[in-house]
Every structure is written in structure tokens, then in C-alpha cells.
Amino acid sequence: MTTIGAHTAHSKAAVAGDGWQGAHLPGQIALLAGRSLRALARNPKLLIISLLQPMVFLVLLTQVFSSLGTTANFPAGATYVDYLMPGFLVVSALSVASEAGVALTTELRSGLLARFRALPISRSSVLFARSVAEVIRNVILMVVLLGLAMLVFGFDPAGGLAGLGAALLLATLMSASMVWVFLALAAWLRNPEAMQALGFLLLFPLMFVSSMFVPVANLPGWLQAVAKVNPVTYAIDASRSLTLDLPVGNLIAASVATSAGLMVVGIAAAVAGFRRPL
């Protein structure tokens, strides 16, 4: 009886948080991120769709808008696919970020995250794990898109591997910041339908009112003003300059500062929203 009583007291103490506190935070994030990636791997339909969607967009955009490459303000000697791809890498982060927000609201509704809260882990580790998993997914997606553009459409950036690698880093940073923005929206909305509708509402202005398809100088005056404050434009311009071996100036600093600022705000808002009672 004494042994049983001692074991029960020890179990209660562990549950109350006086005993085992679980793994360290990086370990928690790695474990939960692995869970999200395994769930994606076990659902090949979702994985295939997430890869096919940007591929279809790439085919359509390079063929439908290819004539735009001959208009004013385009880089001399660059084909339209050379101009489009750096922006396409950055914009691919937007759809992945939107899906991250929808996934978080779905898990909140299903009660899965309520069970996570009963475990001896940091609540914020759930959010950080989700962001890590989504960024990894986007990096894989960007590499596949680059391979397709090179093999099928003759994408041959003048900046070489060094410029392309630097552009990928900037696109990855923008991906991470946008994932946190959408996680923050999801943590406060907590509704998959509303999150999905808001995602579409935000994606199209961020994508089309930027320098992705044409130089900002080619847009109407009022759209130029919007494009110049669009955070996606900074990342696209810096990535494009690196990829096409164009003068960079302060574009990299502006892109990093914009992405970092969005990430800081997104993390703070997401953690605050996620800590609210379910």
C-alpha cells in the first residue's frame, strides 16, 4: 500500500508539473514538426495537390504572359521566365502560409490542440513546430519548381548558383514571416471557413499588386503606390536582382528588414492569440 501510495503521489506530482517537465523546447518543436511532416507524407493526395497547383500556375503564367517580357522596363536580355521565376518563388510562400493557417484552425476545432495543452510542453512549441514544418514544405516546393523551370522552360539565371542560392534564402525568410502572419490570423479567428476566405482575400492583392508579373513602373499610378508598400515586392525585387545579376543596392537589407519585422509581429500576435482559452 505504501508503494502504491508513493507511486500515485509521484504521478500526481508529475501531472501537476512538479516532476517531469517534458523535453526541452527545441526537442518539443522538432518532435511536433516531425508529426506535421509525417501527416503530410501519409496524405499523398494533399502532397501531390500542393505540388501540382504551383506547377500549373507556372505553366500558365509563363505561356499566357510571356509577351509582357517585351514591354518597357524589363531587364535587357532576360526572358520572361527569367523575370518571373524569382517572384514566383517568393509568392509560392503565400499559398503555403495560407494553408498553415487553415491547418491550425482545423486542429483547434478538432480538439487535437486541446489535448496538446494537457501535455507538459510549451504552448508556443506547437506554433513554432507548425512554422518549421511549413517552411520545410515550401523549400521542397521551391526546389521542385526550379527544376521544372530549368528543364522545361529553359530558366537560366545570369546570377548563377550563388545568386539563385541567395534568392532562395530571401524567399525562405519571406515564407517564414508569412507563415507566422497567417498563424497569427488563425490563432485569433479559430474558424477554418473564415480563415480560408481571408486567405483568398489576402493572397491575390499580395500577388498581383507587386512586381511579380511586371515592373512596378508599368502599373497604374495608384497601384504603384500600393505595390511599393507591399512587403512581397521587397522580397521579389531583391531575389530578382540576385538571380538576374542586376544591381542590388539596398534591396537585400529592405527585404530582410521587412520579412523580419513581419515575423516578429506575427510571432507575438500568434502566441498571444494561441494562449487564449479554447
Q: HEC profile for 142-181?
A: HHHHHHHHHHHCCCCCCCHHHHHHHHHHHHHHHHHHHHHH
pLDDT in tens, the chain (278 residues): 444 344 444 444 444 444 445 567 777 778 777 777 776 667 666 666 666 666 676 766 666 666 666 667 788 777 888 888 898 888 887 888 888 888 888 888 877 777 776 666 677 888 898 899 889 888 988 888 888 888 888 888 888 899 999 999 999 999 999 999 999 999 999 888 888 888 888 888 888 889 888 889 888 888 899 999 999 999 999 999 999 999 999 999 999 999 999 999 999 999 999 888 76
Give residue 2's pLDDT. Answer: 42
Question: Domain boundaries in the chain?
Answer: 47-62+77-274
Give residue 46's pLDDT. Answer: 64
Give the whole-angstrom CA distance, residue 51 versus residue 53: 6
Give the whole-angstrom CA distance, residue 81 versus residue 71: 14
Let me know the angle formed at the C-alpha of 108 by 102 and 114, rounded to the nearest 5 degrees: 155
Give the whole-angstrom CA distance, residue 236 versus residue 225: 16
Give residue 185's pLDDT. Answer: 93
Give residue 19's pLDDT. Answer: 44
Q: Count CA atoms within 13 Å of residue 166 on its CB side.
A: 20
C-alpha cell at 190: 479559430
Give the whole-angstrom CA distance, residue 111 versus residue 114: 5
